[in-house]
Amino acid sequence: SAMFVSDPAHLRCPATPRVSRGAARCMGAVPPEDEERRGLFWQRARKKVAELEPDAPISESIDVVASEVEQVIAARRRILKWKLKTSLKRFRNEVEDEAGAQSDEAKQRQVRLKERQALIFDSLA
């Protein structure tokens, strides 16, 4: 496995479980079912690494993949922050609506109670 780490061609391989079964498939075409299962990250990372010079040091390939990972993480973080923000707004609105409804019901009960008390006082008088 040490030879795979030092070989820049290994970074150009699809990162699928099939790679562990044999490196012979690495430089071949990626089967369509594997291509569909992988997200955009793998396509972008492989394209960026393929754009490097064939004799480029492995550190350049690692830097390219690392920058792609950082971009993907940043994009996902933005998406998750947006989703969290909208979820919290929706939750806050639901809680405020429920609290308002309960407050209105409590006020209506107080009004009905005062009306009943007035009727009772009138009937006793």
Number of domains present in the structure of the chain: 1
Q: What is the pLDDT of residue 100?
A: 97
How far is C-alpha 68 from the chain's CA centre? 16
Q: What is the pLDDT of residue 69?
A: 87
Q: How confident is the model over 19-28, as pLDDT tens digits?
A: 444 444 444 4
Report, in angstroms and rounded to the nearest whole number, the Rg of the chain calculated over CA atoms.
Answer: 32
Q: What is the pLDDT of residue 121?
A: 92
Task: Print the domain residue range for 36.
Answer: 2-124
Q: How confident is the model over 50-84, as pLDDT tens digits?
A: 888 888 888 888 888 888 889 889 999 999 999 99
pTM over 0.75: no
Average pLDDT of the segment spanning 8-15:
51
Q: What is the pLDDT of residue 19?
A: 45
Say if residue 3's pLDDT is above 60. Answer: no
